[in-house]
Amino acid sequence: MDKFTKLTGIAAPMPLVNIDTDMIIPKQFLKTIKRSGLGKNLFDEMRYTLDGQEIPEFVLNQPAYRKAEIIVAGDNFGCGSSREHAPWALLDFGIRCVISTSFADIFFNNCFKNGILPIVMPQEVVDVLMEDAKKGANARQTVDLEAQTVTTSDGRVFPFNVDPFRKHCLLNGLDDIGLTLEKAASIDAYEAKAASAFPWA
């Protein structure tokens, strides 16, 4: 997993609430057995017509946002299915950070496993960041994970919370499985205990 430390980039405004995982990456693209290559189909049905032409009004098709690295979104971003193809598609497109008032639980977890930072901010801060993002490509926002701040293009700074363990993993690009296997003795001990306490399990 790539590290996430500090990012200064274009933020795309997507004020729609309840942007679901079927919108982020429709099911026909889940048939892959790879993690890569999904960026071209990110938001496919909002981004392209039935015959594959770009829909010019869609935010990521607009010249100012084609290289966006941050999305500022409406409430409950990533609701729906557990498909990790959603963060894979965001990452493959170049998105490393999503900011919203709330995220669906599984999507939120999946982001951290892929070097994407989801940030929860109060409504009034999301409103400020959304307006800033609407200024276009010259308006770059800065996300500093170490300092836990987001800075608007005109220098307003907003702090955010992040789970310390997840922050540590993102800053260092750590692999969860490797970390867990360091605790193998605890798992062995649990299994031994469970074998007598719950022999049917």
Partner 1 sequence: MAPRTLYDKIWDDHVAHQAEDGTCLLYIDRHLVHEVTSPQAFEGLRMSGRKVRAPEKTIAVPDHNVPTTPGRDKHIDNEESRIQVEALDKNAKDFAINYYPVSDIRQGIVHIVGPEQGWTLPGMTVVCGDSHTATHGAFGALAHGIGTSEVEHVLATQTLIQKKSKNMKVEITGSLRPGVTAKDITLSVIGATGTAGGTGYVIEYCGQAIRELSMEGRMTVCNMAIEGGARAGLIAPDEKTFAYVMGRPHAPKGAKWEAALAYWKTLFTDEGAHFDKVVTIRGEDIAPVVTWGTSPEDVLPITGRVPAPEDFTGGKVEAARRSLDYMGLVPGQKLSDIAIDTVFIGSCTNGRIEDLRAAAEILKGKKIKVKRAMVVPGSGLVRAQAEEEGLAQIFIDAGFEWRLAGCSMCLAMNPDQLAPGERCAATSNRNFEGRQGRGGRTHLLSPQMAAAAAITGHLTDVRDMMGVEA
Task: Kindly list the residues in this chain that would bind partner 1 in the complex (CB under 8 A).
Answer: 15-18, 20, 22-23, 26-28, 30-35, 45, 50, 74-76, 79-84, 87, 102-106, 109-110, 113-114, 163-165, 176-177, 180-181, 183-184, 186-187, 189-191, 194, 197-201
Using CB atoms within 10 A of its CB, is residue 132 exposed (0-12), middle (13-18) or buried (19+)?
buried
Per the DSSP assignment, residues forming a β-bridge with 140 are: 10
Least CB distance from residue 174 to partner 1, whole Å?
11
Least CB distance from residue 123 to partner 1, whole Å?
8
Least CB distance from residue 154 to partner 1, whole Å?
24
E strand segments, 29-139: 70-73, 97-100, 117-120
The nearer residue to partner 1, 23 or 42, going by C-beta atoms, is 23
* Identity of the amino acid at 167: K
The nearer residue to partner 1, 73 or 150, going by C-beta atoms, is 73
Contact call for residues 117 and 135 (beta carbons, < 8 A): no
C-alpha–C-alpha distance, residues 42 and 122, integer Å: 26
Least CB distance from residue 31 to partner 1, whole Å?
4
